[in-house]
């Protein structure tokens, strides 16, 4: 196995690349930014959206497996960014070139944003209506395209619908680090949808799930989720307890309106059947972040 990896310097990409390095898997990183040097990792500079030499670079990589994590994830901007359409095209192009170069299997980073509204735990095979963002529509569209292509051209494609990853080095404006800084007194507490139930999964467990899919994943769609529903109020309370602080003032600011997505939790039974198990409970995962923040 030799892995062609995109998005290697992103939040999930760093964790996954570290895991591959621990397993001594040879990796070729394709992207604009070089990862930290490692004996089993090589780097090919590439802008996936504009590179006219992409075919030659994919051939040069000589990889059997593709893990495509790259996409626009600029906080607050990516939901409706115009370049979501560019990423659809770039992903399709990369997929076809990878198969032409002899690739046998690919994993793609999908998103829970592909689902429509639901009050129940989300199952991969059910239709919950259309996604509510351009990002979700784009991810859902490219899923249909690459899965169909893979089926017709003997490329095993595992589509990973990632729910709410959190962990060290997360984008500071996302919910977990935002709550942490507010409870630590570094920013003003903010109003949020306290009753919304979310599926938080530690980035380390996301990386382990991708590793399992890389080895034994089938041509299928998988929820990369903890399977556990946690309300935002519960998240705040857990973090406050770990910080030994009072969250009452924060919790008093909750938004009274009905949340747009009251439940965003994924059933992970398909992934469990492959032998994966999340190692970190939410409390244990939050502890790793809080301990790290206290060391800064």
Using DSSP, state whether 184 is helix, strand or coil.
coil
For 213-242, how does the pLDDT look when each residue is reduced to its tens digit (9 = 90+)? 999 999 999 999 999 999 999 999 999 999
DSSP result, 192-252? --TT-EE-EEEHHHHHHHHHHHHHH--SEEEEES----EEHHHHHHHHHHHHT---HHHHT
Residue 259 has pLDDT above 90, yes or no: no
Which range (90-94, 143-147, 183-187, 214-218) has the least confidence?
Answer: 183-187
CA–CA distance, 159 with 128 (Å, rounded to integer) = 18
Residue 254 has pLDDT above 90, yes or no: no
Instruction: Please name the residues in contact with 37: beta carbons below 8 A apart, sequence gap of 6 or more.
Output: none
Q: Is 117 left (phi over 0), alpha (psi -120 to 50) or beta?
A: beta
For 30-62, how does the pLDDT look when each residue is reduced to its tens digit (9 = 90+)? 999 999 988 999 999 999 999 999 999 999 999
* pTM given for the model: 0.95
What average pLDDT does this structure show over 107-136? 95
Nearest to 289 by CA among 172, 161, 164, 163: 172
Do residues 183 and 243 make contact, with C-beta atoms less than 8 angstroms apart? yes
Q: Give the pLDDT confidence score for residue 276 in this predicted structure.
A: 98
């Amino acid at each position: 196995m030799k892995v062609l990896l995109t998005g290697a310097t992103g939040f999930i990409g760093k964790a996954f690349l570290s895991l591959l390095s621990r397993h001594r898997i040879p990796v070729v990183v394709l992207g604009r930014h070089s990862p930290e040097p490692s004996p089993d990792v090589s780097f090919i500079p590439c802008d996936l959206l504009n590179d006219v030499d992409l075919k030659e670079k994919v051939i040069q990589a000589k990889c059997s497996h593709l893990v495509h994590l790259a996409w626009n994830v600029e906080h607050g901007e990516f939901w409706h960014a115009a370049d979501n359409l560019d990423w659809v095209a770039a992903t399709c192009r990369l997929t076809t070139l990878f198969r032409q170069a002899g690739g046998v299997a690919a994993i793609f980073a999908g998103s829970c944003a592909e689902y429509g509204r639901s009050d129940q735990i989300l199952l991969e095979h059910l239709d919950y209506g259309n996604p509510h963002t351009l990002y979700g529509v784009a991810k859902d569209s490219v899923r249909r395209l690459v899965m169909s292509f893979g089926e017709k051209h003997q490329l095993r494609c595992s589509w990973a619908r990632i729910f709410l990853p959190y962990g060290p080095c997360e984008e500071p404006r996302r919910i977990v680090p935002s709550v942490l800084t507010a409870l630590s007194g570094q920013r003003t507490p903010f109003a949020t949808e306290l009753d919304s139930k979310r599926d938080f999964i530690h980035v380390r467990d996301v990386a382990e799930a991708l590793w399992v899919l890389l080895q034994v994943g089938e041509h299928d769609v998988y929820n990369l989720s903890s399977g556990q529903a946690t309300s935002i109020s519960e998240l705040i309370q857990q973090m406050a307890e770990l910080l030994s602080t009072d969250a009452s003032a924060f919790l008093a600011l909750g938004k009274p309106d009905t949340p747009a997505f009251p439940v965003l939790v994924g059933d992970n039974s398909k992934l469990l059947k492959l032998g994966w198990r999340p190692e970190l409970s939410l409390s244990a995962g939050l502890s790793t972040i809080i301990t790290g923040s206290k060391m800064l």
